[in-house]
C-alpha cells in the first residue's frame, strides 16, 4: 500500500466529510453568539437535505437545489426562532422537538412524493473543480484545491463570518446581545430582531450543509441522513470558543476521522466495522472531555429574554 497515496486520499475525503459539519458549525456560532441555543441544527440539516433532493430530482439544477436546501433550513429555523424568541419557550426543548419533527416530517413527505419504493432514487453528485496550478501541487493539491464549489464557498463564508463578528459594528452588537441583552437594549440595539436574524441565518447555513450531503456526497435522500452531524457541529462551535475560523478547521478534523474509518473499512482492516463507525462520535466525546473544560459560553446563552418596557 502506498502510504502517501493513502494519507492524501484520506485527507481529501476528510475535507469533503467535514464540509457539512463546518457549514452547520458556523451557523451554530452565529446563533449562539446571539444567545440562542441551536440544538435544532440537526433538524435544519435534515430538512435541507430533503428539500435539496426533491428540487434537484425534478429540476436537475444543483444551484436551485442548494438554494432550496438553504431555504428549507431557514424555514425550520423560523420555527425555532418563533418558539424560542417570540413565544419564549425553553430553547433546549424547542430544539429537541424540532429535530424529532424534522425526522418524521421529511420521512413522511418523502413517501408521499415518491412512494415507499423511492428509497432507490438517486441523482448525480456534483463534480469537483480543480484550481489551476494550485491543484497540481504535490500531495496538498488534491486535498485542498480539487473540491466542489461548496468547499470554496465555505472558505469564503468562514472568513466573512469571522470578519463580521470580530471587526464590524454589527458583529460587536451581536456579541453584546449574547453577553448581556439588557445592556444591549439600553444602548439602543434591537435584541429581538438580531436574534431572529442570527437564528435564521444559522438555519440557512445548516440547510446548505444538508444540501451538500445530497449533491456532493450521497446523491440520494435517506431517512435521518444527517446522522448526528448537527450535534457534532454544536460540539465543534463550543470547543472552538465560537470562532468561525477555528470551527472550520475543527470540522475538517472531525471529517478526517470519518474519512479514516471509511478508508480502514475499504482496506479490510480486521476491526468490527461498528467500532469504526463510532470513531467520529467517540472523537467528539473525547474532545469535549479533554478540551471542553474552561470554555466560557456567551453569558446569556440559552436564557429567555424579556424586553423591558419604557
> 92-143 pLDDT, tens per residue?
999 999 999 999 999 999 989 888 766 678 899 999 899 988 888 888 888 8
- In our burial notation (b when 16+ CB lie closer than 10 A, e otherwise), range 39-74 reads bbbbbbbbbbbbbbbbbbbeeeebeebbbbbbbbbb
Cell numbers standing for residue 118? 423511492
Mean pLDDT to the nearest integer, 15-22: 92
* Reported confidence tier of residue 185, pLDDT bands at 50, 70, 90: very high
- CB neighbours of residue 273 within 10 Å: 11
Q: Please give the model's pTM, rounded to 2 decimal places.
A: 0.91
pLDDT (0 to 100) of residue 270: 67
Q: Phi, psi (5° rounding) for residue 78?
A: -65, -35
Q: Phi, psi (5° rounding) for residue 146?
A: -140, 65
pLDDT (0 to 100) of residue 140: 86
pLDDT digits (tens, 9 = 90+) for 134-171: 888 888 888 888 899 999 999 999 999 999 999 999 99
pLDDT (0 to 100) of residue 91: 93
pLDDT (0 to 100) of residue 292: 60
Beta bridge partners of 130: 146
pLDDT (0 to 100) of residue 118: 63
- CB neighbours of residue 22 within 10 Å: 29
pLDDT (0 to 100) of residue 268: 61
* Reported confidence tier of residue 10, pLDDT bands at 50, 70, 90: confident
H-helix or E-strand containing 72? Answer: helix 62-81
pLDDT digits (tens, 9 = 90+) for 261-296: 766 666 666 666 666 667 767 777 777 666 666 667
pLDDT digits (tens, 9 = 90+) for 25-53: 999 999 999 999 999 999 999 999 999 99
Residue 244 has pLDDT above 80, yes or no: yes
**Cα gap 179→174, rounded to integer Å:** 9
Domains of the chain: 3-116+129-291 (1.10.3470)
Angle of the 244-266 helix axis to the 229-239 helix axis, nearest 10: 130
Length of the chain equals 310
The residues near 238 (Cβ < 8 Å, ≥ 6 apart) are 288, 292, 295, 297
Beta bridge partners of 129: 147
Q: What is the mean pLDDT of the chain?
A: 88
Cell numbers standing for residue 185? 437594549
CA dihedral 77, 62, 17, 221 (to 10 degrees): 70
CB-based contact 38:231 (threshold 8 Å): no
Amino acid at each position: 500500500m502506498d502510504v502517501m497515496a493513502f494519507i492524501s486520499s484520506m485527507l481529501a475525503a476528510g475535507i469533503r466529510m467535514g464540509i457539512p459539519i463546518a457549514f452547520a458549525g458556523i451557523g451554530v456560532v452565529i446563533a449562539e453568539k446571539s444567545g440562542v441555543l441551536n440544538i435544532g441544527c440537526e433538524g435544519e440539516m435534515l430538512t435541507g437535505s430533503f428539500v435539496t433532493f426533491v428540487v434537484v430530482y425534478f429540476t436537475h439544477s444543483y444551484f436551485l437545489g442548494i438554494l432550496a436546501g438553504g431555504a428549507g433550513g431557514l424555514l425550520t429555523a423560523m420555527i425555532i426562532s418563533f418558539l424560542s424568541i417570540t413565544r419564549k419557550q425553553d430553547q433546549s426543548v424547542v430544539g429537541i422537538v424540532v429535530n424529532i419533527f424534522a425526522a418524521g416530517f421529511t420521512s413522511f413527505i418523502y413517501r408521499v412524493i415518491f412512494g415507499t419504493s423511492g428509497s432507490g432514487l438517486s441523482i448525480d453528485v456534483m463534480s469537483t473543480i480543480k484550481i489551476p496550478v494550485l491543484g497540481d501541487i504535490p500531495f496538498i493539491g488534491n486535498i485542498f484545491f480539487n473540491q466542489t464549489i461548496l468547499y470554496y464557498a465555505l472558505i469564503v463564508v468562514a472568513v466573512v463570518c469571522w470578519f463580521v463578528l470580530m471587526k464590524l459594528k454589527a458583529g460587536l452588537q451581536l456579541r453584546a446581545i449574547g453577553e448581556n441583552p439588557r445592556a444591549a437594549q439600553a444602548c439602543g440595539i434591537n435584541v429581538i430582531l438580531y436574534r431572529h436574524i442570527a437564528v435564521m441565518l444559522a438555519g440557512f447555513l445548516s440547510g446548505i450543509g444538508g444540501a451538500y450531503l445530497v449533491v456532493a456526497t450521497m446523491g440520494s435522500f435517506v431517512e435521518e441522513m444527517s446522522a448526528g452531524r448537527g450535534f457534532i457541529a454544536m460540539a465543534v462551535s463550543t470547543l472552538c470558543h465560537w470562532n468561525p475560523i477555528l470551527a472550520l478547521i475543527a470540522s475538517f478534523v472531525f471529517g478526517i476521522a470519518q474519512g479514516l474509518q471509511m478508508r480502514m473499512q475499504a482496506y479490510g482492516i480486521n476491526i468490527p466495522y461498528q467500532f469504526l463507525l463510532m470513531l467520529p462520535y467517540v472523537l467528539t466525546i473525547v474532545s469535549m472531555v479533554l478540551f471542553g473544560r474552561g470554555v466560557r459560553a456567551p453569558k446569556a446563552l440559552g436564557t429567555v429574554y424579556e424586553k423591558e418596557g419604557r
